[in-house]
Amino acid sequence: MTSSRKGHDGRRIAFLGTGLMGAPMARRLLAGGFAVIVWNRDSSKAEALAEDGAVCVKTPADAVSGADVVITMLTNAGAVEDVLFDRGAADAMAPGTAVIDMSSIAPHFARDHSARLAELGIQHVDAPVSGGVVGAEAGTLAIMAGGDKDVIDGLADVFAPMGRVTRVGPSGAGQLAKLANQQIVAVTIGAVAEAMLLIEAGGGSPAAFRDAIRGGFAESRILELHGKRMVERQFTPGGSSSNQLKDLNAAMATAKTLSLTLPLTAAVHAEFSEFVANGNGEKDHSGLLLHLEEKNGRPGGKQ
């Protein structure tokens, strides 16, 4: 099943995975004038986009049939492989279709998927994003793309409603950039959390501390947004700790294949591993503060 309504450039987009991030990204494409066919494992999450103009279908193969561009925004590499290859989506695509995988997966999986799709005459770009739900809703995502330059350039109008795209290298390079981004996010969350703990334990005000250093050399989006979460103790996930750990696992595995030692990443990886193992996977990754408080015998920030 496909939509009879075409996008402003005549291309139909199939969007597979309309969860926390995928749904607002699909809405941005619809608002940009594209015809969008949506599928999600939990069909209610796809059906919620019908009022925005999306066409909802029952299977990934139905979604991609007749689509010119296929966007995947799925949980992990296993989910991407399942949808593309086990559920028949790749076989249902016409040669010349472009697949944009915006999921966050390890680089070697992206390269493998690209090679397998190329055998079917299908183009592939790995294009993970940073910016969270807020960026997805606003269309201001940082999009890190790996793949053929001409293919990426030819998809510029598809990327535009969702954010700013930058080609960072060949196949797999987008995922590598996302892992590097997630290293910075995780290490910075750890640094801000430890600073908050130090201030509170010494009798200072975490809220006043955060205000005091805003605009200085320690300023960052992490301090602004996640520091605010720590001060307000609001850990409902924008980005879950389990997803943060998934990316750190991939970063550490990739570093091993490259014979790299990354001590800061290794340290924060160990803390997130413990935090998630203790049942906190669905807390926001800024909730690492809770883990550090517990380790120091200061649950709730109290002595």
Instruction: Find residue 298's DSSP bridge partners.
Output: none
Q: Among the options 178, 246, 256, 295, which is catalytic?
A: 178
Strand segments, DSSP code E, in the chain are 12-16, 35-39, 55-56, 69-72, 98-101, 123-126, 129-130, 141-146, 163-169
Q: What is the rounded CA–CA span in Å between residue 71 and residue 124?
A: 10
Active site residue 246: no
Q: What is the rounded CA–CA span in Å between residue 231 and residue 289?
A: 10
Is 201 in contact with 298 (CB distance < 8 Å)? yes
Q: What is the rounded CA–CA span in Å between residue 119 and residue 25?
A: 29
Instruction: Find residue 143's DSSP bridge partners.
Output: 129, 165
| Residue that has been written with the tokens 């099943």 in this structure | 1
* Bridge-based pairing state of the strands 129-130 and 141-146: antiparallel
The catalytic residue positions are: 178
